[in-house]
Structure formats: structure tokens, C-alpha cells
Amino acid sequence: MRGDFAELDGHDAYELLGITPNASPEEIKRAHLTLVRRHHPDQFQDARAKAEGAEHTRLINAARDVLLDHRASYDAARRPPEPEEIIEDPWDTATAGAPRPGPWTTTAPGPPHRYHPPGPRHEVGSKLRLGCTIAVLTGLSSLLSTAVVVVLRPDGPAAETTVRADLAGTWTGTVKDHYGNRATWTVELTLEEGEKVGRVRYPHARCTGKAVPVSYAGKSLIIRTDFPDEQSRCDAGNITLTRRKDGRADIVYYAPNQRTKKTTGTLRRTGKRP
């Protein structure tokens, strides 16, 4: 399981969130929100505590993503393997028989072969029909289960926390990457007040995705970006948005370790609250 879910660093996703394996998606989200508020690096001043909080937050986020997006495969990988059935070789315990007679040894003829008449043919036909019936019913049951899952699955990600009124609206500005080629690009972020999914755009790269409110760390709103598969190159990571006293907002993209500010910028509210 370590190879398939390396982002957990060998930890158990359920133990990281402090929940049981039969927890509902809502319980997973609530547990994640509580722990992020407690361990987010912005909650600490000491450098060591901030680093530990960032690592803990990264693991908590990874556990949440695994259990919400890949729970079936994770549970399958988490399940211990079935014990291998050991079949004993009958020849290991068999006693040695009489030596095989030589080609010139005269032996008495053995008992005549007893003829066993075949059973009635209708039994084979009945078993075959029963097997076909079970196979058909099993297939229909699997198809129905799949259809129910497809119908009940929500269309896209759902908001996990509410957007406060002071953060609602359309925010526009420029951010700068502090690593690599130190590129700059424009960000347009639209948020609606309440527990609603917003929109994020990177106009110059022609990227448009969903802005999913996840949780708060103090006064900062953490937003998970979700882009279509054909725009996976647009994913620059989660957004941390903090309202300033002058009416503008600071935007930060953290590195995967959740400690380093990889990309930063300032946004202005250019549109009214939806």
C-alpha cells in the first residue's frame, strides 16, 4: 500500500483523521476541518512548531483526498491478503508399496475392472441451467449496483465550508512564482457567499476550473482548485486567501510540503458579491 498511496508516507488515512473505516463522507470532511484548524502552520509562531504543523496538515489533506476520491481502491489495498491455502501432497505421507515386478516375473491377474454406469443425463442439464441462472442474476445485481452509484454520485466537487461575506465576490490580480522560471500570471477568483463552489481562471493560459472552499486556518480561507482532465496542466495547487485591512486580499500557493510559499500575490475585488 505504501507504493500506491505514497503521499500518506506509510500512515493510515483513517488514523490520521481519527475516524473509523465506516465513517461517512460528511464525517471525513468534519474531521479534516477540525484537524486543519488545529494544525495549520499559520496557527504557530515558533519555527519548529510551524514546520510540524505544516507536515501534519499535508498528511491530513492527503488522507482527506484519498478517502474522498480513492476510497474503494485504498480500502482494497489496506485489506490484509487472503492466507494462501496449503494443499498437502498425498505422496508425502504415502507408504512405500511392493516393488514393481520385472518383465520376466510371472504375476497373478488382478481383479476384473468393475463397470460403473453413468448417472442420469437430466442431472447434468439441471446443474447447467442452475449455474446459468445464478450467473445471470449476479450480473444483473452488479449492473444495478453500478447504476445506483452513478445516479447518486454528485456532479463535481462539493463545498466543504462556507464563504464569508467579506471574501465573496470576484477577485483579480497578478501572482509571481518564486521558484523555477519565476513566472507571473493573472488570477481571477470568483466566490459566492455561503457553502458554494466558486470559479478560478488563469486567462493567459486559458484555464478555467472550480474553486472549492475547504476550510479556514484562522482568517485565511483554504480553496482547493479542480480543473477538467484536459486542463490538468493548469493545476498550480491549493489557494490560501486572506482578506487585508485595506480591502485587498493576499493569495498564496504553498509548495507540496505546505511550509514554503511557492507563489504569492495580491488581489483586488473587481466584481460585486454574487
Give me the domains of the chain, ranges plus CATH numbers: 6-78 (1.10.287.110), 165-271 (2.40.128)
Quick check: 80 pLDDT over 60?
yes
pLDDT in tens, 131-177: 555 665 666 555 555 544 444 444 679 999 999 999 999 999 999 88
CA-wise closest residue to 184 among 239, 248, 265 = 265
Q: Which three cell numbers mark 270?
A: 473587481
Beta bridge partners of 201: 188, 208
User: What's the rounded Cα separation, in Å, for the pair 188 and 200?
Assistant: 6
User: What's the rounded Cα separation, in Å, for the pair 260 and 240?
Assistant: 12
Answer whether 255's CB lies under 8 Å from 240's CB.
no
- What is this structure's pTM? 0.48
Which stretches of 99-228 are assigned E, i.e. beta strand?
Answer: 169-177, 184-191, 198-202, 207-217, 220-226
Quick check: 18 pLDDT over 60?
yes
Whole-Å CA distances, 202 to 40, 82, 127, 194, 197: 27, 49, 64, 24, 17
Mean pLDDT lowest for which of 120-129, 196-205, 208-217? 120-129
Mean pLDDT lowest for which of 152-156, 178-182, 198-202? 152-156
**What's the chain's length in residues?**
274
Cα-Cα-Cα-Cα dihedral of 228, 270, 247, 192, to 10°?
A: -50
